[in-house]
Amino acid sequence: MGGHEFDRLDGNESICDHIIELTGKTAPKICLLPTASGDPEDQISRFRRSFGSRGCEVTDISLFRLGANPIDVSAHLLEQDAIYVGGGSMLNLVAIWKAHGIHELLEAALDQGILICGQSAGAMTWFEYGITSSSGLPAAATGLGMLEGSLCVHYHQDPQRRTRYMADVGAGMPSGYGADDQSAMLFVDGEMVEAMTFRSGAGIWRVEAEDGKGVETRLELVERFRETPAGQTPGSTVDDFRQLNDWRRRGGMLRGR
């Protein structure tokens, strides 16, 4: 996913629905890895609300809190139907996973047929290279290389990234894709089988080198738009806040301080 938030803004809800559909189950087990942003509670409770309210069995693995909350990471990951990797710092994500050996568990999960999805840093990390702002300005970073080539997320939402990506591909970075927020690609056994958009205007571009420059070709996308139900205001409201607190409580994260 080129960008996805756990809120009701355009397209974000349809993405959740589609992820569930891909698991082929009505109440799949889905686990969040919020590593790339340092396991923040806000992201975790928003995830829990988004997927929990759709009937999923929601959990998360916070690698920063394993000391206080030891669980068998391997067993837990391998019993999931889907694993969702959150965004944040791609540089930190790859470094932390390698330090804990999570990347090997995720390869095992893929081999086992578990659906792996991710947005932003959590999407780029599967490729050989991505464009990250982990060190400030957008720059190339190495991913895990489970998918060939490169990916640049937030493609038109963060124009500096797009500029950097096109220049880097022109200069020899393996070719790949530029993906807008609320767009996504499905890979099966390493092959891209479907490119899709969940918001009108969100696109994906194939970016390849030509005469030392990056050249874009817009992909044909499957449109998976859905109207926001009438009467529902997207974004932050009092109800929103109450719901989040509710999911936070269910996740055992509200501690008396």
Partner 1 sequence: MKSGDGDEYAFMGIKRQIVAFGGGGFSMESGNPLLDDFVTGLTGLKKPRVCFLPTASGDADHYIVRYYNAFRDRAEASHISLFRREKGVENIRDHLLSQDLIYVGGGSVISMLGVWRAHGIDEILREAWERGIVLCGLSAGSLCWFDEGLTGYQDQSKRVLGLGFLPYSNMVHFEAGSKRHNVYEEELKAGLRPGYAAADGAALHFVDTEMVQVIASRPEARAYRLDLKGDRAKTTQIATRYLGSPDQIPLVADSSLPWSSSPLAA
User: Which is catalytic among the residues 120, 133, 134, 150?
Assistant: 120
Question: Measured in Å, how far apart are the chain's first and last C-alpha atoms?
Answer: 37
Q: Please pick, from the candidates 14, 134, 150, 182, the single residue that binds partner 1 as defined by CB under 8 A.
A: 134
Per the rule left: phi > 0, alpha: psi between -120 and 50, beta: everything else, 168 is alpha
CB distance 130 to 91 below 8 Å: no
Residues 85-124 that bind partner 1 (CB under 8 A): 88-89, 91-92, 94-96, 98-100
Question: Does residue 135 interact with partner 1 by CB under 8 A?
Answer: yes
Q: Which is nearer to partner 1, 39 or 180 (CB)?
A: 39
Question: Does residue 80 interact with partner 1 by CB under 8 A?
Answer: no
Interacting stretch for partner 1, rule CB under 8 A, among 37-45, 162-170, 188-196, 204-212?
Answer: 37-45
What distances in angstroms separate CA 3 from CA 6, 11, 79, 170, 255, one per listed residue?
Answer: 10, 10, 26, 24, 31
Closest CA to 12 of 68, 42, 50: 50
For this structure, is 18 an active site residue? no
Question: Does residue 145 interact with partner 1 by CB under 8 A?
Answer: no
Bridge pairing between strands 29-33 and 57-60: parallel
Q: Which is nearer to partner 1, 99 or 230 (CB)?
A: 99
| Dihedral (CA of 31, 37, 39, 44) sign | negative
Q: Which is nearer to partner 1, 56 or 124 (CB)?
A: 124
Binding site for partner 1 (CB under 8 A): 35-40, 62-68, 70, 88-89, 91-92, 94-96, 98-100, 133-137
Active site residues: 120, 154
